Amino acid sequence: MAAIEARQAVDTATEIETEPRLIVEPGLSARVASIAEPVIEQLGYRLVRVKVSSADGCTVQIMAERPDGTMAVEDCETVSRALSPVFDANDPINKAYRLEISSPGIDRPLVRKSDFDRYAGHMVKIETEIPIDGRKRFRGLLVATEGDAARIRLDHKADTKKDDKKSDDTAADDGTEFLLPIEEMSDARLVLTDELVTQALRREKAAKRQARTAKREQRLRRHKSGQAGHADSA
């Protein structure tokens, strides 16, 4: 029943070509992701990230999105209804837990190459699994992707943490570019900026307009179908 509702909720008539995540979670979160991802993809959504934390005893947070990057409250409810019985059957967590489905948010994680392509020109924070040129943390402008790597131009001036003090060494790094393999990143996410918020609001408005248009077209088709049925019965 949940799967049927989900297919009706997702406005797509064709099978979505899946794109693998290049940044994935380790340990228990990886086990949860291996169970959740096929279900989420079957519904027409994409898995973004899984995080198992000790919040409220134990919380399993799953971030998901539509292929266009949006995720409404109704979408979260659809995914939750579909995943709950699957988790009950596979039992990925050996204790009581709370399942939380959410959108990626504005300062979202970047996990696929298309994420890096989509948000080129925005500020990002990246942490690599192994040091690159003596460092594992990078903060700066996402310039572009080159193959399966992302080019970053360091820029710490946009750091909004008031308590952070930029050292002379960090200041000297600003403007330096690094080409970072995406698969070697342990975490990558957007930095919340005014430009990012503006873009997110525009995207949200566009998604709402598209949804309203789709509903009007659906009502029109139903109306025409009803008229055709009356004509046939006459």
pLDDT at 96: 92
Domains in the chain (CATH in brackets) are 2-17+24-102 (3.30.300.70), 113-190 (2.30.30.100)
Q: Is 47 left (phi over 0), alpha (psi -120 to 50) or beta?
A: beta
Token output for 11: 């406005």
Token output for 170: 């960090």
In contact, 71 and 64? CB cutoff 8 Å: yes
For residue 185, with 0-12 CB atoms within 10 Å meaning exposed, 13-18 middle and 19 or more buried, which class applies? Answer: buried
pLDDT at 231: 60
Query: First-to-last CA distance in the chain?
Result: 36
Token output for 178: 């690094």
Angle at 189 between CA 26 and CA 151, to 5 degrees: 105
* CB under 8 A, 24+ apart: contacts of 224-227: none
Which residue in the block uniquely carries the two structure tokens 């008229």?
227
Task: Walk along the chain (234 residues) and give the pLDDT tens digit of each residue.
Answer: 444 444 444 444 334 467 999 999 999 999 999 999 999 999 999 999 999 999 889 999 999 999 988 899 999 999 999 999 999 999 899 889 999 999 999 999 999 999 999 999 999 999 999 999 999 999 999 999 999 999 999 987 654 444 444 544 455 577 899 999 999 999 999 999 998 888 888 877 877 787 788 788 888 888 777 766 666 665
pLDDT at 73: 93
Token output for 198: 């503006």
pLDDT at 163: 43
Q: In the 3-class helix/strand/coil scheme, how is the chain assigned residue by residue?
A: CHHHHHHHHCCCCCCCCCCCCCCCCCHHHHHHHHHHHHHHHHCCCEEEEEEEECCCCCEEEEEEECCCCCCCHHHHHHHHHHHHHHHHHHCCCCCCCEEEEECCCCCCECCCHHHHHHCCCCEEEEEEEEEECCEEEEEEEEEEEECCEEEEEECCCCCCCCCCCCCHHHHHHCCCEEEEEHHHEEEEEECCCHHHHHHHHHHHHHHHHHHHHHHHHHHHHHHHHHHHHHHHHC
pLDDT at 202: 82
Backbone angles phi, psi at 143, to 5 degrees: -75, -55
Token output for 188: 């990558």
pLDDT at 89: 94
